[in-house]
Structure 1
């Protein structure tokens, strides 16, 4: 359990083969097995440099502001260090100044010095504030513009709550310039204080320099350990946020299935790991800070005793003592700033990780028109289908082969049904055409062009996809139907309502087309949501590829068959792939593909496959017929009919 941090150095070379009899070891042939595209990209990716990337954003406005701020910080630190000898000098010269006529001039100079420091601090504060705001705004705009261009696989591999937390943590970026300049100011104060001690008491210069170097070394050397501990604790914290989101979204299923105990047990396990990681982080914080403080106080004692042993002026011991005590005090403040560095670095790293993720389609293609001529995609006209060629395609995911040796050739406008047991790889086959998966080997072509890069975006724009999950938004019925429609719709809205049998749904809604459907379509039934999804796909213009993945599983058998016939009639010229578990209904297709354990095991007309006694298709067809006839029509079942909110027993 817990977070596992991995560091990939590269690909392991094949070991040398054993020595032959009476000879020396022969070097093994290099491993030429092609890596999956995702792993190859990860190995080729340079190590993340979050602070360097932020520096590039800051300096994009020019170097004048950061250079002026740096010089201002150095001047402010020097002024802070000079305040002590200035005050001591005024105390020593006070009797003479009271008798001189120019005492007002001296007072005016002191006030001007203090006022100059105040103006300098005001300038630094405003510069830090504006720089932080600009940096946050740029990152927020970059983050919001990048998210729509990321692929589905990116979001499937990450928690929704974790991505939401990353977006929320953008507000902390505005603090980063302030922390940087504050750390620079404290380091400058330590440096100028050490220089002052060396100038004031050369006998203790070696002790002062050694104290400064040791304290800074503790601060620097502790950063890698604290950074790793902070990242581990932050990862567990993001994992904990998932439970809160799941509890809000799935409260009813949790109570229905009495899963509270299981969820609480899992939450407690993650919570224990978070406590351990947080305790480890606190331990390293306290240990490093304590060591730095001990070094600082030991150096202070050494400076004072060495100065007194060298018979220094006792009247000037006060200034030396003040400067010596400043070293551990400023070091403690610097360490507190340094403690925030790992947290800020990890926040920036988690924010920049989506910005550096590979885009699935170019930004210029997001709102581009359909690739087919507009004259061919007007309402009521179906564009010709696409030709699909897969040759020895292998797909891997999470180190596991999910499709292996796929050879499939579909002519333009061909309709094919895909069947197979659950987990056989049917949806993964469709995911290849949608761009979710990239072939680890083999060739995938659409209209004789490789399906990669911008071509994926073009194919998606001419694809109507009915996925197994019903995706409805808390908007009006009209907005849900027009979702994904660019330009002129594929058919009039009234025709889509009729073909998707949505007239009865429309009659039950209080505000007809303007009625909101609720969060995730909560105000309509599951079957009604299936028909809304079909109506949305029917209105999509320029469809050349239709992918129906369990399209009507929430409806009764007669309605499923009727809607499937309507969909096939509408997309009669398009290439259509229908993934289904109702094997009986596949007999109306001219071609059936059977997938088993990630391979295409059969591909022929349904009547040909059904006539083969040992075919997979015949076994699936027999099992489906047994369910429809022998099992569901058995006398042991009571038949209840739900219609119009009333239950009647047949």
Structure 2
């Protein structure tokens, strides 16, 4: 990874800040290009050669015109000289195309390599960020920022090295030739026109940048709204809120449309001003050349040369305006993606952290305090031990912090104080990857990849054989369902697994955790989506899977944890009771009250439903 500065995003009204941002983007991009320094230097050499040949074309054309300006009977009329000049003219024309295409061939790997490396770095960095960041982000807007950013990399690199530099080189050559060979007015007019053109383009484009930013912002919001609504398709349909979502999406589209219209109008103004400057410059230069021919200080070849130079400069100079706008817009698009790369990594491995060494699999929370915000304490001095090879259940009211324990154990968050140890090793002092390898989980809310059932099960152990996948599917009591479908293990589960029922998704999650086969297992309401028959069958498999390994069972239904070696009752972020099922019932505390309430609901479901 290459070191990056952390520039602030430029305010549209601040030209100095915008300039700093452009330099920051350029400095961040340069290491990826310089990695291919040989190709970069060769491409630059090809570019200079192409421009020298391009400038040579009008010079040879001038000589051809002068060679043809002969009186009748002149012995040079045998066309020996014009034929040689024509050959030279054709070779120069061919050289321009040859060197230009060779430059493209040489540099294409540089551009695409930079795009690939930066896109991969952003992708990897997103996975290094904490759970807090991912809970607060907007997926639709961020995906659009990444899409525009990667596309902008290719545009920025290509336009800068393929267009800006070649055009500047050609302009320097042309102005130099005009200054040496002709009246200073020719070079002066060309130079003043260039300065005016660049100054006008930069000034107006900087003004247009704020319109582009506003358009991007509204585009991201519209995309975010659309993706959010589509991801919640089922909820939208159940509440009949299609019209509401359409209206909200249209509001974002209208805001984007207004910004896009302003951007297009400003573009028209820019194009008109550029054309005016170019037209005035070309007219003045041709007028000066015509006066020179009439006065005898210039010949027809000189007139053709100046005119050809102007025609040759007109196209790249006009294109330069377009390119500058694209570069400025690409820089704006890249700012958002680089902001992701600059996002602070909340959970980091210590320098040269060792891997976790798991032997027995004992888990200990030592006076752990944690909250998602300064004013929202979830765990308040939590202290308990899960002995190696035993099953410990954690129960309590909703919001007591049960599921937060699993997130802390996986190091999705860091405790504000206290320690979490596995086999006596502080998990904050070892690598995150080794901690997560040692733990398997069956979450309460199972989200699957939009792929096959087989792929989602095998995700617990990439590269697992079909036999291994089938074995854990049988253990999770989902094999019979899978083979009953037309495509079996190749059945697509849909976005987030929405083609499967809640119980089916949960059984896939159980199979996936069993396939991972870790020394520590966490079951977070692992049977909450199952019916009573399947729940009992899965509980037997959970007990079998938990044998000889450490298991933490987070449950709301107390009937699922009666066989645990120890039950911890958590309330307000603290362990208020602990013991076996029988011991806690005898204590007649919170656990006993929760048990009695659930038993009453099970015995009188009609009354519970009526009260609900």
| TM-score bracket relative to the smaller structure | 0.7 to 0.9
| Partner of residue 173, structure 2 | 192
Cα drift, residue 223 of structure 1: 5.4
| Partner of residue 237, structure 2 | 255
Summarize deviations over 1:177-201 as a string: whole Å, max 9, x none.
5422222222233333433444422
CA RMSD of aligned residues (A): 4.8
Change in 2 beyond 3 A, CA 1:280/1:419: farther
Matched, 1:279 2:261: yes
Summarize deviations over 1:121-172 as a string: whole Å, max 9, x none.
2222232144224531564366458746724746653516853884698577
Cα drift, residue 437 of structure 1: 1.9
Change in 2 beyond 3 A, CA 1:573/1:218: farther
What is the distance in 1 between the residues matched to 2:463 and 2:315?
Answer: 67
Cα drift, residue 245 of structure 1: 4.8
Change in 2 beyond 3 A, CA 1:47/1:594: farther
| Partner of residue 4, structure 2 | none
What is the distance in 2 between the residues matched to 1:370 and 1:479?
Answer: 28
Matched, 1:468 2:444: yes
Change in 2 beyond 3 A, CA 1:283/1:168: closer
| Partner of residue 104, structure 2 | 128
Summarize deviations over 1:281-331 as a string: whole Å, max 9, x none.
334434444444444455566767899999994875956576567766543
Cα drift, residue 334 of structure 1: 0.4
1:364-403 matches, within 5 Å, as 372=358, 384-396=360-372, 401=376, 403=378
Could you say what secondary structure the match of 1:465 adopts?
Answer: strand
| Partner of residue 73, structure 1 | 47
| Partner of residue 163, structure 2 | 182
1:614-633 matches, within 5 Å, as 624-625=598-599, 627-629=601-603, 632-633=606-607
| Partner of residue 31, structure 2 | 56
1:316-465 matches, within 5 Å, as 316=298, 318=303, 330-346=316-332, 372=358, 384-396=360-372, 401=376, 403=378, 405-413=380-388, 415-423=391-399, 425-439=401-415, 442-452=418-428, 455-465=431-441
**For the Cα contact (< 8 Å) 1:240–1:270, is it kept in 2?**
yes
Could you say what secondary structure the match of 2:361 adopts?
Answer: coil
**For the Cα contact (< 8 Å) 1:412–1:575, is it kept in 2?**
yes
5+ long unaligned stretches in structure 2: 1-6, 11-20
Alignment counterpart, residue 505 of structure 2, candidates 515, 526, 529: 529
Change in 2 beyond 3 A, CA 1:476/1:58: closer
Change in 2 beyond 3 A, CA 1:507/1:131: closer
What is the distance in 2 between the residues matched to 1:254 and 1:109?
Answer: 75
What is the distance in 1 between the residues matched to 2:220 and 2:139?
Answer: 9
TM-score (norm 1): 0.71
Segment of structure 1 superposing worse, 303-312 or 212-221: 303-312
Alignment counterpart, residue 557 of structure 2, candidates 557, 579, 582: 582
What is the distance in 2 between the residues matched to 1:487 and 1:71?
Answer: 48
**Number of residue-to-residue matches in the alignment:** 575
Alignment counterpart, residue 70 of structure 2, candidates 87, 91, 96: 96
| Partner of residue 95, structure 2 | 119
Could you say what secondary structure the match of 1:187 adopts?
Answer: helix
Change in 2 beyond 3 A, CA 1:602/1:138: same
Summarize deviations over 1:563-597 as a string: whole Å, max 9, x none.
3454245314433332333256556542324254x
Alignment counterpart, residue 213 of structure 1, candidates 169, 187, 195: 195
What is the distance in 2 between the residues matched to 1:283 and 1:122?
Answer: 39
Cα drift, residue 475 of structure 1: 6.3
What is the distance in 2 between the residues matched to 1:77 and 1:251?
Answer: 56
What is the distance in 2 between the residues matched to 1:207 and 1:168?
Answer: 40
Cα drift, residue 445 of structure 1: 3.6
| Partner of residue 546, structure 2 | 571
**For the Cα contact (< 8 Å) 1:552–1:560, is it kept in 2?**
yes
What is the distance in 1 between the residues matched to 2:293 and 2:462?
Answer: 88
What is the distance in 2 between the residues matched to 1:111 and 1:124?
Answer: 20
What is the distance in 1 between the residues matched to 2:456 and 2:119?
Answer: 26
Cα drift, residue 484 of structure 1: 1.4
Change in 2 beyond 3 A, CA 1:401/1:231: farther
What is the distance in 2 between the residues matched to 1:635 and 1:400?
Answer: 36
**For the Cα contact (< 8 Å) 2:368–2:415, is it kept in 1?**
no
Summarize deviations over 1:194-217 as a string: whole Å, max 9, x none.
334444222465554333223223
Cα drift, residue 461 of structure 1: 1.1
**For the Cα contact (< 8 Å) 2:53–2:92, is it kept in 1?**
no
| Partner of residue 529, structure 2 | 554
Change in 2 beyond 3 A, CA 1:632/1:556: farther
What is the distance in 2 between the residues matched to 1:123 and 1:370?
Answer: 56
| Structure number with higher helix proportion | 2
Cα drift, residue 554 of structure 1: 1.1
Change in 2 beyond 3 A, CA 1:547/1:554: same
What is the distance in 2 between the residues matched to 1:354 and 1:80?
Answer: 43
What is the distance in 1 between the residues matched to 2:113 and 2:395?
Answer: 50
**For the Cα contact (< 8 Å) 2:442–2:506, is it kept in 1?**
no
Could you say what secondary structure the match of 2:37 adopts?
Answer: coil
What is the distance in 1 between the residues matched to 2:310 and 2:543?
Answer: 86
Could you say what secondary structure the match of 1:96 adopts?
Answer: coil
Could you say what secondary structure the match of 1:485 adopts?
Answer: coil
Change in 2 beyond 3 A, CA 1:623/1:314: farther
Cα drift, residue 464 of structure 1: 1.4
Cα drift, residue 525 of structure 1: 3.8
Could you say what secondary structure the match of 1:547 adopts?
Answer: strand
Change in 2 beyond 3 A, CA 1:262/1:55: same
**For the Cα contact (< 8 Å) 2:396–2:571, is it kept in 1?**
yes
Could you say what secondary structure the match of 1:438 adopts?
Answer: coil
